[in-house]
Amino acid sequence: MRPPNTVTPFAERSEFDQAVDHVRTAGAAYHDGTGLVLADGEYDQLVARIAATEQLHPDWNGRGVTTDIAPGAAAGAVRHTTPMLSLDKITTKAEVAQFVESLNGSTVVVEAKFDGMACHLDYAEGRLVRAVTRGDGTAGEDITHQVTREPGIAGLPRTLPHPWTGSVRGEIYMTAVDFEQANTARTASGKPAFANPRGAVAGSIRKVGRRYTVPMSFAAYAITGDELQPIDSHLERMGYARLLGITTATMLTMGALPAGTLIHGTRIEDVQLAIDAVGELRPQLGYPVDGAVIKVDSRRVRTGMGSHSSAPRWAKAFKFPPDTAFSTLHDIEVSVGRTGRAGFTAIIEPVPVNGTTIRRASLHNVAWIEQQGLGVGSRVAVMRAGDVIPRITAVVGERPDGVAPWQPPMTCPQCDQPWDRGGQLWRCVTPACSLVSLLTYAASRDVWDIDGLGEEIAAALVAAELVGDLADLFVLTAQQIAVVPYFRAARTSEAGAVRRIGMATAQKLVAGIDAAKEKPLARHITALGIRMTGRRMGRTLASHFRTLEALRAATVDDLAGVDGIGPEKARTIFEGLAEQSKVIGCLVAAGITTTAENLDAPADASRPLAGKTVVVTGAVPGMNRTEAQEAAERLGATVSGSVSAKTDILIVGTGTSARSKLAKAEQLNVTTMAAETFVGMSRDFSGGTPS
């Protein structure tokens, strides 16, 4: 692979040698999962610089780091009959187009590129007889025992429904949920956490005597065997694997993408669309995908194209930006969440991860921080997977000299009372401390939308003993609020100054609180801050029970009967509602909306969007996203977050954010509706009152 033009070769031999050492060490750590030395992006960049330098100085010895399939990986004892190659990487649309064009009309298939550990499997007479890691590509380690012992690996059957003999290659990977579980088990046994799911697979699979089980999954991307000889198409071969009960990358990719999205084709546009779709869905997949693989479908064409030393010529890996980066810990902030739980936020040296600069990242619990020996100055791995809050997944390397383990405060920073340290999670039992978080959450834009009621004002109202629970907000007067002193933490010349809230702000707050009463029932349910209920659950509960009265009367069984609520959630919600009974009573007395909208409206079937599944994209005039979704529900629609074959209508607002959903809707022939039309419809339906 030719390095991109922007890569700077090393000028000095010593720098070059050092970089080669670094890549080899990082490669070894990467392969055995024992630790992390370089983030993916940094690793690729270094290898590219080494390659560029080798071209300028052919006599400088790069010790194979640019040509070896797996530099630094330990070669195992089992030789592969055919080498397990790597894939050449591409990162631009132009390179995608160039590759597809070079194939002269041969069909290509696009698959998610699973970020785990490559594995070769041999089946004999329908039984899995051997599993081998890739190792250095030529020889790998026998991991049959680890793969076949309970609970096995999802998607990788130990026995087949039919006495088939042949080989399968694919990736063993860990889902996001399994990764969390694996890291919890590992840190509980006193070991350093894995930085990402790939490291966790590599580190867990080779442990023969591990006492705890780590759930893992498998996705096949190649299959060979006598019966498959006549089958030329990769897609058909993968279909065969599926019949054997083996999960394939093809099938997972097809299942994840909106129905109708082609994962094979000959046109550059179709290939690009499929790659974009994988990239766009990556955050929601729940499994680690670091790119999309573009591969020729026909085996005959593949054979004609052949391979170079480390990778086939018939496939390319389109790499997405890495979702893990490394940074340095500057501080740890301690706060109390809306359920009283102590929360720990890492303040880190700003670092770009997948397009966003990350400065703060959540940390696990205090036990984790202590087990990992985290200290101010430690190097940490930051993972930003999807839309979730970035998280510190691991402490990297040894603690640098002079860095002491961080000492958590023994008391709550808000009330100075000792924590309840009964469990793994520390809690502050002072209701006022969680109340500040709860008030801030309830006042946020998508819930009550009370402008100006941020953390500082909430803390001031609680400290002044004006607010002891959520409902107290609704009896406040501007006079009471105006004289409350508060502490401004803002970075202004007044920072640290104690001020009073003042009449102007107080009046604005009272107006905001008053307006909050009129918000839809769903938002009042959300505002209660009951565990396991967020915005979506608020809407589900409101539309199922229709009145606050009915919701309060609901039994655990009634709740468990709601779509999307399991027995555990039902119990939690039931208990939460019971605990909040007094507050709910006061909210009702204050005059909040207690019925879901349009109870008196025409029967469901005559609502304009009755029975339709609707997706909203782009900016809708006069409404934020939540309001637009609520309006669609009032019109009878079921709202979904992504366009699929099940979508009936895509409501298209303005802005570039609408583009990709629009493209998908066009591809799937989904009807679109201009946002203005939707706003008009909503206004007409609610009798002229804008929602």
Q: What is the separation, in whole angstroms, between the first and last Cα of the chain?
A: 57
Binding segment for ligand IVH (CB under 6 A), chosen from 106-114, 334-342, 448-456, 510-518, is 106-114
Minimum CB distance to ligand IVH smaller for 279 or for 408:
279
Give dist(CA 323, CA 383) in Å, integer. 6
Contact 264, 199 (CB under 8 A): no
The span of 55-63, 109-117, 481-489, 631-639 binding ligand IVH (CB under 6 A) equals 109-117
User: 111 vs 270, which CB is nearer to ligand IVH?
Assistant: 111
Nearer to ligand IVH, 289 or 374 (CB): 289
Give the range of 1-9, 85-93, 388-396, 672-680 binding ligand IVH by CB under 6 A. Answer: 85-93
The interaxial angle of helices 535-545 and 625-634, nearest 10 deg, is: 20
Determine, following the binding rule CB under 6 A, whether residue 249 of this chain makes contact with ligand IVH.
Answer: yes
CB of 558 to ligand IVH, least distance (A): 45
Which range touches ligand IVH (CB under 6 A), out of 113-121, 235-243, 395-403, 465-473? 113-121
Determine whether 569 is an active site residue: no
Q: Determine the interface stretch with ligand IVH among 108-116, 208-216, 390-398, 585-593 (rule: CB under 6 A).
A: 108-116
The residue among 437, 459, 233 whose CA lies nearest residue 335 is 437
Judged by CB under 6 A, which of 19, 36, 87, 592 binds ligand IVH? 87
Under the binding rule (CB under 6 A), the answer on residue 241 touching ligand IVH is no
Tell me the number of residues near ligand IVH by CB under 6 A: 15
449 lines the binding site for ligand IVH (CB under 6 A): no
Do residues 427 and 420 lie in contact, with contact meaning Cβ atoms separated by under 8 Å? yes
Between the CA of residue 582 and those of 407, 478, 577, 585, 589, what are the distances in Å?
A: 39, 24, 10, 5, 11
**Does 85 participate in binding ligand IVH (rule CB under 6 A)?**
yes
- Sheet of strand 671-674: strand arrangement: 638-640, 613-617, 649-652, 671-674
Q: Which is nearer to ligand IVH, 319 or 360 (CB)?
A: 319
CB nearer ligand IVH, residue 121 or residue 361? 121
d(CA 548, CA 589): 12
Q: How far apart are CA 521 and CA 588, in angstroms?
A: 11
Which DSSP helix (H) or strand (E) runs through 301?
Answer: helix 299-305
The count of other CB atoms within 10 Å of the CB of residue 566 is: 12
The residue range among 112-120, 205-213, 350-358, 432-440 that interacts with ligand IVH, by the rule CB under 6 A, is 112-120
Q: Is residue 310 involved in binding ligand IVH (CB under 6 A)?
A: no
Q: Render 377-441 in DSSP notation, one character per residue.
A: T-EEEEE--TTSPPEEEEE-SSPPTTPPPP---SB-TTT-PBPB-SSSS-B---HHHHHHHHHHH
Tokens in use for 396? 């990297």
Would you count residue 281 as binding ligand IVH (CB under 6 A)? Answer: no
CA within 13 Å, CB half, 610? 10
- Cα separation, 593 vs 204, whole angstroms: 53
Choice between 204 and 310, CB closer to ligand IVH: 310
If phi over 0 gives left and psi between -120 and 50 gives alpha, with beta otherwise, what is residue 465? left
Q: How far is the CB of 153 from ligand IVH (least distance, A)?
A: 15
Q: Which stretch binds ligand IVH (CB under 6 A): 238-246, 310-318, 334-342, 591-599?
A: 310-318
Task: Report which residue type is found at 622.
Answer: G
Give the integer Cα–Cα distance in Å for 244 and 238: 10
608 binds ligand IVH (CB under 6 A): no
Residue 153: which of 195, 192, 193, 117 has the closest Cα?
A: 117
By CB under 6 A, is residue 132 in contact with ligand IVH? Answer: no
Q: What interhelical angle do 234-243 and 249-256 show, nearest 10? A: 100
- Comparison of 86 and 437: residue with beta carbon closer to ligand IVH: 86
**Which residue, chain included where needed, has tokens 């206004």?**
683
Angle at 426 between CA 424 and CA 431, to 5 degrees: 145
Element housing 613 (H / E): strand 613-617
Min CB(170)–ligand IVH separation in Å: 8
**171 interacts with ligand IVH by CB under 6 A:** yes
> 10 Å Cβ neighbour count for 367?
15
DSSP secondary structure letter of residue 450: -
What six digits make up the tokens of 408? 């958590």
- Interface mask (CB under 6 A) for ligand IVH, residues 311-330, using x and -? -x--x-x-------------
CB of 111 to ligand IVH, least distance (A): 4
Q: How far is the CB of 318 from ligand IVH (least distance, A)?
A: 11
Judged by CB under 6 A, does residue 293 bind ligand IVH? Answer: yes
Q: CA-based angle 479:480:484, to the nearest 5?
A: 115
Residue with tokens 């000889």: 229
**Residue 85 vs 353, nearer CB to ligand IVH:** 85
Q: Which x/- pattern, by CB under 6 A, does the window 509-548 give for ligand IVH?
A: ----------------------------------------
Provide the minimum distance between the beta carbon of 390 and ligand IVH in the complex, in angstroms, as a whole number: 24
Q: Tell me how far the alpha carbon of residue 19 is from its chain's centroid.
A: 32
111 binds ligand IVH (CB under 6 A): yes
- Residue 86 sits in the site that holds ligand IVH (CB under 6 A): yes
Q: Which of 89, 93, 113, 191 is catalytic?
A: 113
Q: Which of 36, 38, 39, 118 binds ligand IVH (CB under 6 A)?
A: 118
Encoded one letter per residue, x for contact with ligand IVH by CB under 6 A and - for no contact, window 613-652 reads ----------------------------------------
In the complex, minimum distance from the CB of residue 319 to ligand IVH, in angstroms, rounded to a whole number: 9
| Residue closer to ligand IVH (CB basis): 24 or 295 | 295
- Cβ-closest position to ligand IVH: 118
- Residue closer to ligand IVH by CB (options 114, 426) is 114
Is the CB of 264 or the CB of 607 nearer to ligand IVH? 264
Q: Is 365 in the site for ligand IVH (CB under 6 A)?
A: no
Q: Which residues contact 474 (CB under 8 A, 6 or more apart)?
A: 513, 517, 586, 587, 590, 591, 592
Among all residues, which ones are annotated catalytic? Answer: 113
Where does this chain bind ligand IVH (CB under 6 A)? 85-87, 111, 113-114, 118, 171, 221, 249, 293, 295, 312, 315, 317
